[in-house]
Amino acid sequence: MTVRILRGLPREHREAAAALYWQAFGGKLGTVMGPEDRAMRFLARAIRGDHAIIALSDEGELLGLAGFKTVDGAFAGGTPEDLRTVYGLAGSLWRAALLRLLGRSVENHRFLMDGVCVQREARGLGIGSLLVKAICDEALARGYSEVRLDVIDSNWRARALYERLGFEELHRESIGPLHLVFGFRSTTAMVKRIF
């Protein structure tokens, strides 16, 4: 299978991207962003195509994506208005407060990768590696010397991939009692020097 890596998310792939993102991250975000139909509406509205790199099959099917975060926003961050539109005023307030506790600020000297996801049927084909390499290329093109990502303690498969690709642990951070909401206990910040 030939895989094409493209910068940006074309409009025709937004729904597939939202479904893929939810497939990958719904387990940790479900309590806060659910129910699923609302989470899908929020993601379809909030995702930023200009903050993504995607992998397409020969037939044009979305196989995977990698998001990134800049001072202009994040791939799946959304705005307060996006939250209010989908969840209402009360629902948006408590969700925004919890999500803010998980938020990562943009660093001035490291490019921040904001999630990688690959379709279940396409895992093990090297697509995740291609997407991470594309993120590193994007960082280099923007003048960064390092890429940073965060991986949750229960995602050993992703951590193994990042280590194979040259990422090293920077630090671990417990999320404390929030583990009751999000279902994981800590995140590990990992960094790769790209030049």
Structural domain boundaries of the chain? 4-193
Name the CATH superfamily, with its identifier, for domain 4-193: Gcn5-related N-acetyltransferase (GNAT) (3.40.630.30)
* pLDDT recorded at residue 179: 82
Q: Which residue has the tokens 């659910």?
A: 34
Give the pLDDT confidence score for residue 126 in this predicted structure.
Answer: 95
Tokens representing 166?
Answer: 């040259």
pLDDT of residue 64: 98
Tally of CA atoms within 13 A in the half-sphere of 173 that contains its CB: 14
> By the 8 A CB rule, do 149 and 107 touch?
no
- Provide block-wise average pLDDT over 10 residues at a time, the chain (195 residues): 94 95 88 92 94 96 96 89 96 89 71 94 94 97 94 88 95 84 87 94
Q: In Å, what is the CA distance from 72 to each residue of 77, 95, 123, 171? A: 11, 21, 31, 26
| pLDDT in the model for residue 104 | 59
> Whole-prediction pTM value?
0.90
Please list the residues that pair with 51 across neighbouring strands. none
Q: Which pLDDT score is estimated for 106?
A: 63
Tokens of 159: 């951590």
User: Can you list the alpha helix ranges (DSSP code H) found in the chain?
Assistant: 14-33, 36-46, 80-102, 127-141, 156-164, 179-182
* Whole-number pLDDT of residue 69: 92
Confidence at residue 109, expressed as pLDDT on a 0 to 100 scale: 85
Residue 73, token pair as written in the block: 């926003």
Conformational region of residue 46, where left means phi above 0, alpha means psi within -120 to 50, and beta covers everything else: alpha
